[in-house]
Structure 1
Amino acid sequence: MNHKDLLNELKIDRSQRETHRAGPPGWLWPVLGAVLIVLLAGAGAWYFLGNKPVEVQTATAVSPASNPDAGAVLQATGYVTARRQATVSAQITGTLTEVLIEEGDRVQKGQVLARLDDSAYKASLVATQAQAAAAHALVTQLQAQSVQNERDAQRLEALVARGLVSRQDAEQARTQVNSIRAQLAAQQRQAKAADAQVNVAEVNFDYTVVRAPFNGVITTKDAQVGEIISPLSAGGGFTRTGVGTIVDMDSLEVDVDVNEAYIGRVKPNMPAEAILDAYPDWRIPAHVIAIVPAADRGKATVKVRVALENKDGRIVPDMGVRVSFLEQQAASASQAMAPKGVLVPAKAIVQREGHDIVFVLAGDKVQQRAVTPAAQNYGDMRLVPERVQAGDTVVITPPDNLNDGMRVAVAAKTQD
């Protein structure tokens, strides 16, 4: 083979070169792009949705000995009420010239709360006092005249005995004595009547001052200076019927409505414990005062009066309160019979595949634990003998999509 033949063999066929340059077909690139987009969307959905924590509410498992409702026979809700409160008003109609109270003021019995315009009553009092003074002055005059007439009559009777004057003169003098005595008696009665008028005027004048009927706290201020106040509702909205409301804080107690199906469990003087909605960690010792012998047909409840054994400035009327009626037993006996295990809210126990399950918080994830709750209820709590420890945080009303090991975000801790 010569040199020319070798060069010819090194030449590349043009048809083969074009085929090599063509590469993959044109439809393949759009397909690859669509697959890549789907993969990226799936990865993003898994990251943002599958890894998103589930929002839950939690509570703390407590020991039966420390649970306030562990020995409760029954629980009921109600409100703080005052057995003694009054809307203070005047006993006469008049215009307010002073109002000396504000909401929250503590007042003592007899303390002046307001004053009415007293000009007319003061003038009436002065007039009756003057009339009484005149009546008493006339009594004094008649008394002096009666004494003088008595002396004159005695002298004339002595002269008659000596024959110096006629008996007729002595009789006339005695008649004058009796007449003055009658006038004196009548005038004394007039003076007493005038004194009674003075007393009436003084009472009316005193009515212009409004005083506290008992020790308490002002809860409302209902009138202002310049307004007309009246013990009766007169004049529409232009007349006030009270200056303010005073509440005796020492008379505060709790009224609760007990379902009539359970009223047999409540007895007078039964120990109880009250928890205010405003202060859920403050447990107030209490006891039953009385069971009101009347049922509410609409609500099927019976009212029970409960006394608060500890009074405090934080307790105010109309506060919401929950009362636990307690069993009457010795503390040592209750501790000896304290059940084994912990108490969790009944809503924390759910069914999963035919088993009772509790979700316990461990960091930001939950652990699923199978439990066997005791048959006895403790109010709205259930006793879990094992698998849960006191102080563990459990999920209340777990959602259906919550599973073991999932991340959670605590929305609110509803119960301690």
Structure 2
Amino acid sequence: MTDKSELLRQLRIERDERPAQAASSRRWWWALVLVLLLLAIGAASYLWLRSAAPAVKVAVAKPLQSGAAGQSGASILDASGYVVARRQATVSAKITGKLEQLFIEEGVHVKEGDVVATLDNRNATANLLQAKAGVQQAQSALLQAKAAAADITPIYERDRKLAAASVISATALEQSKANYDAKQTDVAVAEGNLAVRKAALEIAQRDLDDTIVRAPFTGVVTTKNAQPGEIVSPLSAGGGFTRSGICTLVDMDSLEVEVDVSENFIGRVRANEPATLKLNAYPDWQIPAYVIAVVPPADRSKATVKVRVGFKSRDPRILPEMGARVSFLSREQNAAGGGSGAPGVTLPSDAVQASAGAATGTVYVLHEDTLERREVKLGARDGDSQTVLAGLAAGERVAVGDFTKLSDGEHVKVVDR
């Protein structure tokens, strides 16, 4: 009986324990639901914040490369200009005349003294012959005057002696002296007339020489302004068949580049500082150059100052009036580079926040997905490339995006560039 009673007791269900167990199960279930809800809220918040973060692209700062011909150094300023010739001339005749022969064409190289053209010289030749005849006539007159003076000289000497011996009167001596002085005067007049005739001959000879037009210096003919048969006059402004010039001659060894630099940044440019040139016709060709001079005064209408830049080497590809872009280099940076590399880095221009021509700017450096606002010193801007002289190291990542939505310490979403 005892065993049966114990067995029945064990099988008996305690009605007061079931509600407690059910309550405990409900508490664990609500806790689990709360945890899952919190996780869901956290995940949603993370996704929402990530989707709300500004989307930026990434640009990597690249080290500057060495310049042409072993030059190194960051460009501190860029400017555009044109190739000009410091020595060029419109070649013309010194006298008015009809152009008879022309020996040049555009693009022809001529040397100093080469004959460029000739004018009709028939009038000049006739004047020269007339001048020569006048010289001969004056020479004959001088010989005649000298002969007459030579003939009267002994007569005058004899009359002096006779007058001293009281053989002839003083009046006769005075008459003899007057005749002698007249003959001497005739000689002087004849000599003066001969000098005038010789001067006229020289003028006539020069007029004949002026019918031959020669190149004033060695250069290249860039334009031909007259044709044979036209009248050429140095005093005419041109029109009809009258030309004031025959051709334009350019000394190719005098080529240089003139650029206009904003007066706000002219302090960066100094004479004899190094520079590099790129011609618009040859954008991949870097030409070593140097600053010749800063030309005063400033242009008040454009707020610029003219700067002359010279070529360190000559090349037949460099032609007048070509467009050119000049990058001015710092001498200190050029010396510090040692020919192995250039200080500073380059970035895409849209990765830098700066005003046009400003010396400093702002970049946003990426650390994982966090931004750091940083001030940098700017160099030259060349198209889509911006030189950064200081404040940024090669290899650092920089955000590219809407700068109005970026701030220091902000989290961003990086997208492919």
- Which band: TM-score by shorter chain? 0.5 to 0.7
Distance 2:133 2:119 in 1: 24
CA gap of 1:62–1:218, structure 2 versus 1, over 3 A, is: farther
Distance 2:77 2:341 in 1: 19
Quote how far apart the aligned CAs of 1:70 are. Answer: 5.4
2:327: which partner in 1? Answer: 324
User: How far apart are the structure 2 equivalents of 1:289 and 1:176?
Assistant: 74
**Counterparts of 1:78 and 1:254 in 2: how far apart (Å)?**
7
Displacement of 1:165 in angstroms is: 6.8
Contact 2:80-2:323 at 8 Å conserved across structures: yes
- Report if the CA contact (8 A) 2:226-2:243 is conserved: yes
Q: Does 1:284 align with 2:287?
A: yes
Tell me the number of residue pairs that the alignment of Structure 1 and Structure 2 aligns: 319
> Which residue number in structure 1 is paired with residue 248 of structure 2?
245
- With over 3 angstroms needed to count, the CA separation of the structure-2 counterparts of 1:373 and 1:227, relative to structure 1, is farther
2:137 to 130, 134, 142: 134
Report the counterpart of residue 148 of structure 2 in structure 1.
145
User: 1:88: how far off?
Assistant: 0.6
Rounded to whole Å, the distance in 1 between the matches of 2:218 and 2:192 is 42
1:112-160 residue CA offsets vs partner (Å, 9 max, x unmatched): 1111111111111111221121011100111111111112333444566
Distance in 1 (CA, whole Å) between partners of 2:153 and 2:365 is 114
Give the alignment partner of residue 294 of structure 1, picking from 292, 297, 321. 297
Within 5 Å, which residues of 2 pair with 1:23-42?
none
1:200-219 equivalent positions in 2, closer than 5 A? 200-219=203-222
Provide the rounded CA distance (Å) in 2 between the counterparts of 1:90 and 1:67.
47
With structure 2 as the length reference, what TM-score do the two structures score? Answer: 0.66
1:299-314 alignment to 2 at 5 Å? 299-314=302-317
Alignment of 1:6-405 (within 5 A): 63-66=63-66, 71-158=74-161, 171-233=174-236, 236-329=239-332, 331=334, 333-334=336-337, 338=342, 343-346=346-349, 375-380=376-381, 381-382=385-386, 385-386=394-395
C-alpha change, 1:169 and 1:300, in structure 2 (3 Å) is: closer
Deviation at 1:339, TM superposition (A): 5.3
Q: TM-score, normalized by length of structure 1?
A: 0.67
Question: Identity, % of aligned pairs?
Answer: 44
Match for 2:191: what amino acid?
A: Q
SS at match of 2:77: strand
Cα distance in 2 for partners of 1:372, 1:63 equals 21
For 1:190 and 1:204, locate their aligned partners in 2 and report how far apart those are by CA, in whole Å: 21
Q: Compute the RMSD of aligned alpha carbons.
A: 3.7
Name structure 2 gaps, 5 residues minimum: 1-60, 354-363, 398-414
Structure 2 residue matching 1:237: 3-state secondary structure: coil
Separation (CA, whole Å) in 1 of partners of 2:373 and 2:113: 61
Cα distance, 1:376 vs structure 2: 4.7
Aligned partners of 2:200, 2:296: CA distance in 1, in Å?
49
Aligned-residue offset at 1:299? 2.7
1:372–1:385 contact (8 Å) kept in structure 2: no
Secondary structure at the counterpart of residue 240 of structure 2: helix
- The change in CA–CA distance for 1:332 and 1:291 in structure 2 (over 3 A counts) is closer
User: Aligned letter for 1:379?
Assistant: A
Pairwise CA distance, 1:327: 0.7
Q: Is the Cα–Cα contact under 8 Å of residues 371 and 386 in structure 1 kept in the other structure?
A: no
How much has 1:197 moved relative to structure 2? 1.5
CA contact (8 A) 2:74 2:343 kept: no
CA contact 1:269–1:287 (8 Å) conserved in 2: yes
Which residue identity is paired with 1:116?
L
- Aligned-pair distance for 1:298? 3.4
* Distance (whole Å) between structure 2 residues aligned to residue 311 and residue 235 of structure 1: 35
How far apart are 1:176 and its partner, in Å?
2.0
CA distance, structure 2, for counterparts of residue 67 and residue 347 of structure 1: 24
